[in-house]
Amino acid sequence: MTARSADQWCPALAPALMLRHDAVRGTDLLVLPERVVVLKGHAGMVVGLCDGTRTVPGIVGELAERFPGAPVADSVPGFLDSMRQEGWLT
């Protein structure tokens, strides 16, 4: 994909998926028709921002404000892209 369309992509959770917090295990989960993905660390929060209204740079900017000094610009776009390749983000 081109850099221009990458900037315009507003990631959203694929329709069949459920993002939820699991209070019993103290973690965030992505629940699919036949499997459960454990989202470690802040991954659940990042996925939570994928509501179809924010662009990737917008998500990165928001996270950079919340976590000053964290390497969000380096890690978040790659993470979102890998989530899309799995079919979990559209």
Partner 1 sequence: MTAPANPGAAARPAPPWALLAELTHACPLHCPYCSNPLELARRSAELSTDEWTDVLRQAGDLGVVHTHLSGGEPLLRPDLERIVAAAEAAGIYTQLVTSGTGLDEARLAALTAAGLRSVQLSVQHADPRAGDRIAGRPSSFAAKERAAALVRRAGLPLGLNVVLHRDNLDAVDALIDLGVAWGADRVELANTQFYGWGLLNRAALLPTRDQLARARETVERRREQLAGRIDLVWVVPDYFDGVAKPCMGGWGAVSLTVAPDGTVLPCPAAASLPDLHPPTVRERPLAWIWEHSAAFNRFRGTDWMTGPCGGCPRREEDFGGCRCQAFALTGDAARTDPACALSPDHHLVREPADAGRPEPPPYVYRRPGAVPAPAAGPAPSVVATDG
CB of 43 to partner 1, least distance (A): 16
Query: In the set 36, 45, 70, 73, which binds partner 1 (CB under 8 A)?
Result: 36
- Using CB under 8 A as the binding rule, whether residue 24 contacts partner 1 is answered as yes
- Shortest Å distance, C-beta 27 to partner 1: 11
Pair 56, 47: CB distance under 8 Å: no
The amino acid that residue 80 corresponds to is L
CB 19 within 8 A of CB 51: no
15 belongs to the binding site for partner 1 (CB under 8 A): yes
45 sits near partner 1 (criterion: CB under 8 A): no
Q: Answer for the pair 89, 46: CB distance below 8 angstroms, yes or no.
A: no
